[in-house]
């Protein structure tokens, strides 16, 4: 009787271990079949792309999306230097065109997706007296943040606007440069600066700032977000599918929900 019980116990343990091992092997095989896509994208796209990520991964469980958010100029340099990236979603055409020129992106595998507006923001709370870009020249305004123009498109647009609005000379000594638009937003939210220049989409995601003024679109270069597949992507097929998804009408509508502008 004891031998029978022992044999049954051993059989049960063997069956359990085999089943667990088989499941582990299946899980491992499933993981190995998954594709990991890396997308380098402008910091201003973070909220909208995080939303779209959930939608896409739900429909494509075999794909994992990894986003590298930052200043478009910095991301462009990383890609030029060989960073393993599958798609580039830029906040400026010149950064995108630089990759087309050096052969990292084929022009036919890129397209303009959406646009944006440039705005002046201030912390919510007591009236600051800043209601226009010209108010930035007031002596009461000590610090103004913009993205570093060489790397951050929004910073370059801000620089162009300051010059075209004839306030550059007075504003220049007050500037506090940031690594990307989200850092500018953070500086304004925390009150470390009196004002900042970001995209409208950045201002809309924060409850701690308010828009004081919008820059005249004629005062700076057009704000356009191009998207393209990296030529040396190791997952070209899946990258193309995600590229097609991002330029679809439903994705553009999601981007519009976050304040981006559809390009006609």
SS3 state of residue 120: strand
Q: Are 132 and 161 a contacting pair, CB within 8 Å?
A: no
Residue 229 marked in a binding site: no
Return the structure tokens found at 238. Answer: 């899946």
C-alpha to C-alpha distances, 104 to 39, 78, 237, nearest whole angstrom: 14, 11, 17
Residue 251 marked in a binding site: no
* 12: enclosing H helix or E strand: helix 2-33
Residue 195 marked in a binding site: no
How far out from the chain centre does Cα 255 lie? 11
Residues in the chain: 264
Residue 121 bridge partners (DSSP):
196, 211
Residue 83 marked in a binding site: no
Residue 114 marked in a binding site: no
Buried b (16+ CB within 10 A) or exposed e, 81-118: eeeebbbbbbbbbebbbbbbeeebbeeebbeebbbbbb
C-alpha to C-alpha distances, 10 to 19, 22, 40, 192, nearest whole angstrom: 14, 18, 53, 69
SS3 state of residue 247: coil
Instruction: Tell me the binding residues for molybdate.
Output: 44, 72, 154, 181, 199
Instruction: Tell me the binding residues.
Output: 44, 72, 154, 181, 199
């Amino acid at each position: 009787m004891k031998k029978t019980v022992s044999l049954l116990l051993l059989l049960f343990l063997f069956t359990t271990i085999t089943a667990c091992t088989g499941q582990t092997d299946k899980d491992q095989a499933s993981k190995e079949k998954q594709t990991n896509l890396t997308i380098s994208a402008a910091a201003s796209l973070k909220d909208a792309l995080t939303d779209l990520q959930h939608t896409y991964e739900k429909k494509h469980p075999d794909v994992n999306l990894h986003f590298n958010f930052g200043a478009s100029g910095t991301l462009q340099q990383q890609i030029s230097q060989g960073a393993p990236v599958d798609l580039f979603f830029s906040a400026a055409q010149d950064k995108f065109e630089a990759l087309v020129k050096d052969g990292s992106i084929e022009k036919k595998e890129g397209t303009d997706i959406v646009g944006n507006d440039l705005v002046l923001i201030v912390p919510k709370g007591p009236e600051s007296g800043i209601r226009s870009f010209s108010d930035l020249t007031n002596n009461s305004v000590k610090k103004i943040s913009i993205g570093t123009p060489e790397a951050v498109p929004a910073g370059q647009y801000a620089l162009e606007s300051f010059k075209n609005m004839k306030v550059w000379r007075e504003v220049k000594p007050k500037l506090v440069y940031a690594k990307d638009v989200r850092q500018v937003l953070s500086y304004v939210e925390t009150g470390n600066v009196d004002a900042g220049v970001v995209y409208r989409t950045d201002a809309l995601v924060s409850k701690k700032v308010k828009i004081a003024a919008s820059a005249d679109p004629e005062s700076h270069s057009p704000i356009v977000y191009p998207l393209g597949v990296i030529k040396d992507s190791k997952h070209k097929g899946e990258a193309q599918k995600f590229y097609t998804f991002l330029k679809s009408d439903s994705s553009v509508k999601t981007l519009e929900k976050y304040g981006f502008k559809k390009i006609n």
